[in-house]
Structure 1
Amino acid sequence: MKVLVVGNGGREHALAWKLLQSQQIERVFCTPGNGGTATLERCENLPVAVDDFEGIAKLAQKENISLVIVGPEVPLSQGITDYLQAQGLMVFGPNKMGAQIEASKAWAKALMQEAGIPTAKAAVFTEIKAAKSYLKSQGVPIVVKADGLAAGKGVIVAQTIVEAEAALDAIFGGQFGSAGNFVVIEEFLLGQEVSVLALTDGLTIRPLLPAQDHKRIGEGDTGENTGGMGAYAPAPVATPGMMARLQTEVLEPAIAALRKKGIDYRGVLYAGLMVAPDGEFKVLEFNCRFGDPETQVILPLLDTPLEELILACVQQRLGDMPPIAWKNGASATVVAASGGYPGDYTNGKVITGLQESETADTKVFHAGTKLQGLEVVSDGGRVLNVTAIGEDFKQALDRAYAGIAKVQFEGMYYRRDIGYRVLS
């Protein structure tokens, strides 16, 4: 079968790479793809933007595509699934109504409250004066969120009232565009964040391995939020007992609540959790797609063919599938970013050492890269992910860091403490 992967990040490179391990996959097309997908065997990049729904549909029909997998949240929130399905195409990813679970934090919060899903106390505002008044009544630390999509950067954990008010000024002032039309102010929760990506056909929902992302730019989880600077899986803080509770207290109620609203949700439901020191957990947010960089550490450990799971979701027969099979061991990834990210940065830096960094256990997943002649150059804030598997976390992290040490481009930055929690 032929598969079309929509997107151009590390997540999409990982999806294409995993799909191509199956003998059932004849060819993968990526729109628009990146420098990594451009060099994958049996993979082809096509210059169609993720929001060009008509162009994507024409491409899929011309190439006789069997399945479209949508990577990023933006086209999902804009209704790409609805559009492509109307053209007779089979799509993995929720429709526009379902994608509200990520596109609107206020909508998702209301859904969680209706479903009795454990989540942080929060209030929603459309006017800055009322928001600042509420802020002062709650005290700090506190979390301020732009309601809509903000590329992983619209969440500010404020330690002082001044910082919290500055966050409100920035969001209401248009820093995140229309994502700042509403603001969610949420109680601060102490603990460790865990990402649980689950596959669902709208009736059955099955979690993948839990992963832990490192969202802050600086070591020791300091500095600004980013799209993610590294990750590892399976995250030990998500114990088997917690995962069992998550299934019955979060995942199944969420799908039931979506069904109650008339939403046929088929795709990834990604729960971002905060796990307190005593093991209790609350949902911080839901996302409607594969996580990035979590996908890059989960897929290398997946033993069940990816396309079988995705087809079962699309065809609403996930409940008939055997349990998901996993490889033993651990996986870790380290993100190399452009100098200046998550602020201003410059593209077009030549990247060297890519082939030298890869081994049987280590893979480079490209994110913000493109092929320019015979050279791969930087083309984004998060440039690439060096991912490795090992018998344990130490081995996986040692291999990932050995790999990234061989990669070079001007201004390259990466955190040197990914996995510090599991190593300690």
Structure 2
Amino acid sequence: MKVLVVGNGGREHALAWKLLQSKQIEQVICVPGNGGTATMSSCRNLLLAVDDFEGISQFAKQEGISLVVVGPEVPLARGISDYLQNSDLRVFGPSKAGAQIEASKTWAKTLMQEAKIPTAHATVFTQATAAKSYVKEHGAPIVVKADGLAAGKGVTVAQTVDEAIAAIEAIFEGQFGSAGNFVVIEECLKGQEVSVLALTDGLTIRPLLPAQDHKRIGEGDTGENTGGMGAYAPAPIATPELMERVQKDVLEKAITALRNREIDYRGVLYAGLMITPDGNFKVLEFNCRFGDPETQVILPLLETPLEELLLACVEQRLAAMPPITWKPGAAATVVAASGGYPGVYENGMVITGIPEAEASGAIVFHAGTKLEGQQLLTNGGRVLNVTGTGENFEQALAQAYAGIERIHFEGIYYRRDIGHRVKAFRNG
């Protein structure tokens, strides 16, 4: 079978890489793909935009595509699944109505409150003056969120009132486009964040391995938020007992609430959780797609063929599937970013050392790269994800860092403390 993967990041490279491990997959086409997917065996890029629904549909029908897998949230929020399904194509990814769970934080918060899913207390504002008054009254720390999609950068965990007010002003001044029509101000929860990605066919929902990422640009979890600077799985803080509670109190309640709204949700439901020091949890947010960089550590540990799980979701027969099986051990990934990210950075830097990194045992997933002739160049803020696996976290992290140390491009930046929480957890 042929599979079309929509997107051009590390997540999409990891999806294509995993799909091609199956004997059932003849070819993967990535739209538009990146420098890594351009050079993988049995994989090719198609230079269409992710929101060119008509072009993607026409190509998929002409090429006999068996399954379309949508990576990013933006085309999902714009209705790519609805469009392609109307063209009689099988699509893994929720409808536009379902994607609201990520595209609108106010919509998601209302759904959580109605479903009695544990979540942080929040208030929604449509005017900056009222939002600022609320912050001055309640003080800091406090969380300020742009309502809509903001590429993972629309959330400010403000440690001072002045920082919160600056975040409110940035949102209402249009820094995040239409995501700034509303501001959500939320209580600041303390603890550790965990990403629980689950596959669902709208009736049954099954979690994947819990992962933990590092959102801040700086070591020690300091500095600005990013799309993610590294991750590892399975996150030990998400114990089997806690995951049972997440299944019952978050995942199943969410799918029931979506059905009650007559939304047929088939795809990934990704719950971002805060695990509090007392062992309880609250949902910070939901996402409607595979996480990035969490996917790059979950898929290397997956034993069940990925296409079997995705097709079971699309065909609404997930309940009949055997339990998902996993390789023992752990995986960790470190993100190599362009100098200046998440602010201003330059593209077009020559990348070297990837063959040497892969020879050391690491898996290199491309994110912001492009191939020009025989040269691989940087083409984004987050450039590469260097993933290691092993019998334990120490081995996985050592392999990832041994790999990334072999890679070079002008301005390369990566955090050298990925996994510091898991080390503290294991030692404490």
| 1:5-16 equivalences in 2 (<5 Å) | 5-16=5-16
Q: Is the 8 A contact 1:361 1:390 kept in 2?
A: no
Q: Name the counterpart of 2:217.
A: 217
Secondary structure in 1 matching 2:232: strand
Q: Distance in 2 between matches of 1:137 and 1:78?
A: 37
Secondary structure in 2 matching 1:18: helix
Aligned-residue CA RMSD in angstroms? 0.6
Q: Is the 8 A contact 2:360 2:402 kept in 1?
A: no
Q: Name the counterpart of 1:308.
A: 308
Q: Is the 8 A contact 1:331 1:390 kept in 2?
A: yes
Question: What displacement does 1:360 show?
Answer: 7.4
Question: What displacement does 1:423 show?
Answer: 1.7
Secondary structure in 2 matching 1:165: helix
Secondary structure in 2 matching 1:417: coil
Q: Name the counterpart of 1:99.
A: 99
Q: Distance in 2 between matches of 1:353 and 1:417?
A: 21
Q: Output one character per residue of 1:363-420: Cα deviation in whole Å (capped at 9) or x when no partner.
A: 0000000011001100000000000100000000000000000000000000000001
Q: Which amino acid aligns with 2:311?
A: L
Question: What displacement does 1:137 show?
Answer: 1.9
Q: Output one character per residue of 1:82-134: Cα deviation in whole Å (capped at 9) or x when no partner.
A: 00001110000000000000000000000000000000000001111111111
Secondary structure in 1 matching 2:44: strand
Secondary structure in 2 matching 1:282: strand
Secondary structure in 2 matching 1:370: strand
Secondary structure in 1 matching 2:99: helix
Q: Distance in 2 between matches of 1:324 and 1:255?
A: 19
Q: Is the 8 A contact 1:192 1:276 kept in 2?
A: yes
Question: What displacement does 1:359 show?
Answer: 3.7
Q: Name the counterpart of 2:179.
A: 179
| 1:75-224 equivalences in 2 (<5 Å) | 75-224=75-224
| 1:10-409 equivalences in 2 (<5 Å) | 10-359=10-359, 361-409=361-409
Q: Is the 8 A contact 1:302 1:326 kept in 2?
A: yes
Q: Distance in 2 between matches of 1:184 and 1:89?
A: 36
Q: Output one character per residue of 1:143-184: Cα deviation in whole Å (capped at 9) or x when no partner.
A: 000000000000000011111000000000111011010100
Secondary structure in 1 matching 2:47: coil
- TM normalised by structure 2 equals 0.99
Question: What displacement does 1:361 show?
Answer: 3.9
Q: Is the 8 A contact 2:194 2:273 kept in 1?
A: yes
Question: What displacement does 1:32 show?
Answer: 0.1
Q: Output one character per residue of 1:260-292: Cα deviation in whole Å (capped at 9) or x when no partner.
A: 000000000000000011111000000000000
Q: Distance in 2 between matches of 1:393 and 1:384?
A: 20
Secondary structure in 1 matching 2:38: helix
Q: Output one character per residue of 1:192-227: Cα deviation in whole Å (capped at 9) or x when no partner.
A: 000000000000000000000000000000000000
Q: Which amino acid aligns with 2:16?
A: A
Secondary structure in 2 matching 1:333: strand
Q: Distance in 2 between matches of 1:94 and 1:82?
A: 8
Q: Which runs of 5+ in 2 are unaligned?
A: none
Q: Higher mean Cα deviation, 56-65 or 200-209?
A: 56-65
Q: Which amino acid aligns with 2:353?
A: G
Q: Distance in 1 between matches of 2:310 and 2:88?
A: 17
Question: What displacement does 1:357 show?
Answer: 0.1
User: Identity rate of aligned residues, in percent?
Assistant: 76
Q: Which amino acid aligns with 2:249?
A: E
Q: Output one character per residue of 1:50-99: Cα deviation in whole Å (capped at 9) or x when no partner.
A: 01000100110111100000000000000000000011100000000000
Q: Distance in 1 between matches of 2:420 and 2:134?
A: 36
Runs of 4+, deviation exceeding 2 Å = none
Q: Distance in 1 between matches of 2:394 and 2:89?
A: 43
Secondary structure in 1 matching 2:23: coil
Q: Distance in 2 between matches of 1:32 and 1:43?
A: 12
Q: Distance in 2 between matches of 1:238 and 1:101?
A: 23
Alignment length, in residue pairs? 424
Q: Is the 8 A contact 1:11 1:291 kept in 2?
A: yes
Q: Which runs of 5+ in 1 are unaligned?
A: none
Secondary structure in 2 matching 1:290: coil
Q: Distance in 1 between matches of 2:386 and 2:159?
A: 33
